[in-house]
Amino acid sequence: MRVLLLGGTTEARRLAGLVAGEFTVVTSLAGRTTDPLLPAGEVRIGGFGGVDGLAGYLRDERIDVVVDATHPFAATMSGHAFDACAALGVPLLILRRPGWTAGAGDEWHRVASLPEAAQTLPRLGRRVFLTTGRQGLALFAGLDGCWFLARSVEPPAGVMPRHLEVLLDRGPFTVEGERELITRHRIDVLVTKDSGGADAKLVAARELGVPVLMVNRPPAPPATTVSTADAAVSWLRARGR
């Protein structure tokens, strides 16, 4: 069985490792980082050219099933995968880790989008730990009353906030390290996306009493969805039989 795995997440890499040798798996990466963490098996890097390009790839490569294990905020790619699979009758599975739920001691303010986060932010704080990715920095560029610590894997480019310090780093991070970072920079608000998974910065923010501005996930396509790589393996094996 030939599987196209739309990857770029920890879950995608784990799934590729679990089924290596059992199925023919091609992991597709968007190519937004210059040194991505590569999974087991065959890898392709770059876009497909929209729905039609992806459908053409599925036909040309005789793909039997698609697993969408992209980032929960990769809404465009997920939409293209759903439309291309629907057009060709190719089975699609979505692998998404669960989102976060606020607990005792958390002060979370949920918003629907990054633009709404930029509008809401000045009411919550002035020294901002911004962990929403380098591509959204321009949305915060007009907030001259705020100072930003922005963390990303790749250096940002384009329009950026006037008062900005960039920290180039890649996780996983520890609670101790995040607590020290927030304290050292006198952070009074954390801005992040509801990506899910273990997250040390949320624990550190709770312990330090720092409010969190949380951007909600976009809705996922109406396809079969699982939350773990193990569940995705079971689904693939059922299809393979």
Q: For position 107, what pLDDT does the model report?
A: 97
CATH superfamily of 108-215: NAD(P)-binding Rossmann-like Domain (3.40.50.720)
Residue spans per domain, the chain: 2-98+218-240, 108-215
Q: What is the per-residue pLDDT across 130-157, written as a single tens digit (0 to 9) for each?
A: 999 888 899 999 999 999 999 988 899 8
φ, ψ (nearest 5 deg) of residue 115? -60, -40
71, with CB counted inside 10 A (0-12, 13-18, 19+), is buried
> pTM score, two decimals?
0.88
Q: For position 41, what pLDDT does the model report?
A: 86
Sheet holding 2-6, edge to edge: 42-45, 24-29, 2-6, 65-68, 92-95, 224-226
Rg (C-alpha) for the chain, rounded Å, is 19
Q: Is beta strand 2-6 parallel, antiparallel or unpaired with respect to 65-68?
A: parallel
d(CA 94, CA 225): 5
Q: What is the per-residue pLDDT across 79-135, written as a single tens digit (0 to 9) for each?
A: 999 999 999 999 999 999 999 999 999 999 999 999 999 999 999 999 999 999 888
Q: What is the per-residue pLDDT across 186-197, written as a single tens digit (0 to 9) for each?
A: 999 999 999 998
Query: Which fold would CATH assign to domain 2-98+218-240?
Result: Rossmann fold (3.40.50)
Residue 32 reports pLDDT greater than 80: no
Handedness of CA 117, 123, 129, 135 (dihedral sign): positive
The structure tokens 């210059």 sit at 34
d(CA 102, CA 11): 22
One-letter amino acid of 33? T
> Would you tell me how many other CB atoms lie within 10 Å of the CB of residue 184?
9
d(CA 64, CA 220): 22
Q: For position 132, what pLDDT does the model report?
A: 92
Q: What is the per-residue pLDDT across 158-203, written as a single tens digit (0 to 9) for each?
A: 999 999 999 999 888 999 999 999 999 999 999 999 999 878 999 9
Q: For position 157, what pLDDT does the model report?
A: 87
Q: For position 101, what pLDDT does the model report?
A: 93
